[in-house]
Amino acid sequence: MKDLIIIGAGPIGLACGIEAQKGGLSYLIFDKGALVNSLYNYPLNMTFFSTSDRLEIGEVPFISNNPKPTRAESLEYYRRVTSHWKLKLKLYEEINVIEKDVDGFSIATSKGSYKAKNVVVATGFYDRPFLLNVPGESLSKVLHYYREPHPFFGMNLVIVGSANSAVDAALETYRKGAKSVTMIIREPKIGDNVKYWARPDIVNRIEEGSIKAHFNSSITEITPNEVKFRTPKGEQTIDNDFVLAMTGYQPNFQLLESLGVGFQEDTFRTPVYDSMSMQSNVKGVYLAGVVCGGLKTNKWFIENSRDHAALIVKAISKKVN
């Protein structure tokens, strides 16, 4: 019987493990993928918006060679943190079922069974993309994650979206030899939340015609060789080899629902929790990190949710001790 099971080995899940270890609590951290799996799946050349000191956990300094750290530096840092604290990890072990019982929770995973008095959900949101829900989305040429520009050299590329991930992909693939880069954007302009050093760049590339952009537009169908989309000027069809659907991602609502976690009456499906303890409406179920914002995935980041770990462990320690 563990004092707590932590679901998600991202930075906030690791922070929860560190606090549990400091507090003398027994714990395990589970992830269905690699250590900091979401960061691992970021584009290879991605640069963080935050400075390195704001990404630190566990009193381990994050030293970066750049004003803002890169993906590679962050992976190295969180590996170092994990090794320093000797965190108890269960990687590549997906949780299939969690059932509440009189003693706490029974957890069945892809590799075994466990018991815990408390459960901490720190699953982030990057594992579940929003779908376009159009004919042809299941084609292998449609991708919801962008890693690097090389596969798109000499290709006609469509990018859906106007947030940071879409802008980064558009600029990088254009500069690395894509035959054409066309952005299809539901909004009337490039998002205001785009990184301040990237927004002028993408706006200028669109204005000069190097990257084509169709605003107030949406895809209606994807075929092996074309993309059909609706614009204010009517239906259009263009040649296409790949579609990058950078449409955003969402938390694992199914997991929250299975645990009995309630939601506030808002448009973001914000989970119910106590901001002083991070405990949800279900006794023994705690929320940490981005998952606390529901569909408002830009509310919580590593830097402003690191404190969730200490709040959770403090609340659990009171019950255990």
* Alpha-carbon distance values, 124 to 93, 98, 173, 271, 274 (Å): 17, 18, 27, 13, 18
CA separation for the pair 69, 76 (Å, rounded): 11
CATH number of 4-128+249-320: 3.50.50.60
Phi, psi torsion values for 212, nearest 5 degrees: -85, 145
pLDDT for position 258 = 94
Q: What is the pLDDT of residues 6-26, one digit of tens each?
A: 999 999 999 999 999 999 999
Picking from 63, 104, 13, the residue whose alpha carbon sits closest to that of residue 309 is: 13
| DSSP code of residue 134 | -
Q: Are 144 and 247 in contact (CB under 8 A)?
A: yes
The DSSP element (H or E) to which 312 belongs, if any, is helix 307-320
pLDDT for position 191 = 83
Picking from 16, 25, 35, the residue whose alpha carbon sits closest to that of residue 120 is: 16
The token pair at 279 is 């405990």
* Alpha-carbon distance values, 132 to 136, 143, 247, 285 (Å): 10, 11, 8, 32
pTM over 0.75: yes
| Domains of the chain, residue spans | 4-128+249-320, 142-245
The token pair at 97 is 């079922």
The token pair at 69 is 């750290």
| DSSP code of residue 82 | H
pLDDT for position 49 = 82
Distance of CA 22 to the CA centre of its chain: 27
Residue position matching structure tokens 């002028």? 200
Q: What is the pLDDT of residues 169-225, one digit of tens each?
A: 999 999 999 999 999 999 999 988 888 889 999 999 999 999 999 999 999 999 999
Picking from 7, 6, 33, 8, the residue whose alpha carbon sits closest to that of residue 19 is: 6
- Whether 4-128+249-320 shares its CATH topology with 142-245 is answered yes
pLDDT for position 269 = 92
Mean pLDDT per 10-residue interval, the chain, length 321 residues: 97 98 97 94 87 94 92 96 98 95 93 97 88 96 95 98 93 97 96 88 97 97 98 96 93 93 92 96 96 88 93 92 66
| DSSP code of residue 307 | H
- 19 CB neighbour count, 10 Å cutoff: 25
Q: Per 3-state DSSP, what percentage of the chain is helix, strand, and coil (rounded to 5)?
A: 30, 25, 50
CATH class for the domain made up of 142-245: alpha beta
pLDDT for position 321 = 66
